[in-house]
Homo-oligomer: A and B are copies of this chain.
Amino acid sequence: MTARRTTEGPAARSGRPGRRPGGPDTRGEIIGAARKSFADKGFTATSIRAVAREAGVDAALVHHYFDSKDELFIEAMSLSVDPRQVAATVIDGPRDEIGRRIATVFLGVWESPDGQQRMRAIFRSIAGSDEVARVMREGITQLILQPVSKVLDVPDAALRVSLVATQLIGLAMVRYLIELEPVASADIQTLIDRLAPVLQHHLTG
Contacts and interface: CB of A to CB of B under 8 A. Distances in A.
Contact of A181 (B162, B178, B186, B190): B162
A109 interface: no
Q: Which of A128, A137, A197 has the most CB of B within 10 A?
A: A137
B180 A137 contact: yes
Interface string A162-189: 1101111111011101111111001000
A137 B173 CA distance: 11
A163 B158 CA distance: 23
Q: How large is the interface on A (under 10, 10 to 19, 20 to 34, 35 or more residues)?
A: 35 or more
Contacts of A197: 201, 205
A199 B159 CA distance: 17
A194 interface: yes
List 3 A-B pairs, minimum CB-CB distance, nearest first.
A170-B170, A127-B127, A166-B170
A194 B159 contact: yes
Contacts of A194: 159, 163, 202
A124 interface: yes
- Copies of this chain, tallied across the complex: 2
Interface of A: 123-124, 126-128, 133, 136-137, 140-141, 145, 158-159, 162-163, 165-171, 173-175, 177-183, 186, 190, 194, 197-198, 201-202, 205
24 contacts: A124-B127, A126-B127, A126-B177, A127-B177, A128-B128, A133-B178, A133-B179, A140-B180, A141-B181, A162-B183, A165-B170, A165-B174, A165-B183, A166-B167, A166-B170, A166-B171, A166-B183, A168-B170, A169-B170, A169-B173, A169-B174, A197-B205, A198-B198, A198-B201
